[in-house]
Amino acid sequence: MEIPVIEIDNHSVDFTAVKDDIKSQKIERGVVVNKDTGLTINVTRAGLNDTYMYAERYERRNKGADAYARINALYKLKDILENAVLLDTIVSEKGENNGFYAPFL
């Protein structure tokens, strides 16, 4: 099985711009179906805001760390989720699969 590599563009954005792009839906949300498993994944504004918050917190705590790579990935999140491959079949406490793999540059 070939796992596609998703290229992440540099949007040259700061955290404020990303927050605005989440709000305006420039960063897409909605239902995504994973090609490998057929699982339906719902990308919500709340989930995007959580990811944004954790990236911002990570950047503050780790000065010099590239949190921007993380927030740039949000712009390709639907592609990442759609093309991720399930590597781990262990079921979590909530009965959900863990261990998706989605390489990106």
CA dihedral over 10, 11, 16, 20, signed as positive or negative: negative
pLDDT of amino acid 105: 47
Using alpha carbons, select from 92, 91, 100 the residue that is nearest to residue 32: 100
CA distance 75 to 56: 16
pTM of structure:
0.76
Using alpha carbons, select from 60, 49, 54 the residue that is nearest to residue 22: 49
Strand partners, 6: 104
CA distance 59 to 1: 35
Tokens of 35: 């090609």
3-class DSSP state of 100: strand
End-to-end CA distance of the chain: 19
**Model confidence pLDDT, tens digit, residues 31-87:** 999 998 899 999 999 999 998 888 888 888 887 666 777 788 899 999 999 998 877
User: Could you identify the residue written with the tokens 């792009």?
Assistant: 21
- Mean pLDDT across 98-105: 57
